[in-house]
Amino acid sequence: MSKSRLGIVLIGAASVTAAMMMASPTQAVTCPASTTCSTTVNFTVTAPDGLTITVPESPVNIGGSTPAGQISGPLGTVTVTDQRAALTATWVASVVAATGGFTTGGGTAAETIPNTAVLYWSGAATTTGTGTFVPGQANAAAAQSLDISRTAFSKTSGSGDNSAAWNPTIVVNVPAQAVAGTYTGTVNHSVA
């Protein structure tokens, strides 16, 4: 056989051997007696739904009063669900009333109760998971007006999935000049 044919045969045989080695399955690890023989294991934990907030179904009626009186009632359960499976699982839920206040009839100035007269307090929450959960307003004395965005509830430390559910109270200080009617407005929650 000539040198060039022998070279071609050897190159071909080396290519077949290399292909067989690449295609062969991974071999088991063999260790001598009295030594530790290790296998690395991988698995994945997924975060199914992220960070969400659930609010009561509309409309919610919190009661009634006369002019210069006060109305106070529960809004219904607000729930933050954190399924991000995060190492740092913190969040802030915010609340604010929609611009324009609470109106009746044609919504004229005389038929409007401003957001400054509508207060919110979260109270305590039922929680799951680890970390520190902080009410935005722990009790009635801490109630805040809804004319600007307020912290309704927050989670300031912890990791992994968690949740908090609270039933906030809405307090309306009815102005002395308020006209009779059913007043309607929107309370907006968000979480980030």
- CATH for 166: 2.60.40
32 lies in some domain: no
How many domains does one find in the chain?
A: 1
Express each pLDDT in 130-177 by its tens digit: 999 999 999 999 999 999 999 999 999 999 999 999 999 999 999 999
25 lies in some domain: no
Q: What is the mean pLDDT of residues 82-101?
A: 96
**Domain region containing 92:** 50-191
Output the pLDDT for position 8: 45
Return the bridge partners of 80, or none. Answer: 53, 164
20 lies in some domain: no
Least confident of 17-21, 89-93, 129-133: 17-21
What average pLDDT does the structure give for the chain?
89
163 lies in some domain: yes
27 lies in some domain: no
44 lies in some domain: no
For residue 139, what are the contacts with CB-CB under 8 A and spacing of at least 6? 121, 123
33 lies in some domain: no
Percent of the chain topping pLDDT 70: 86
Q: What are phi and psi of 31, to 5 degrees?
A: -125, 150
Structure tokens at 175: 């102005």
Q: What are phi and psi of 13, to 5 degrees?
A: -65, -40
172 lies in some domain: yes
Express each pLDDT in 42-79 by its tens digit: 888 777 779 999 999 999 999 999 999 999 999 999 99
Whether the predicted model's global pTM rises above the 0.75 cut? yes
What Rg do the C-alpha atoms of the chain give, in angstroms? 33
Banded model confidence at residue 10, pLDDT cuts 50, 70, 90: very low
Output the pLDDT for position 25: 54
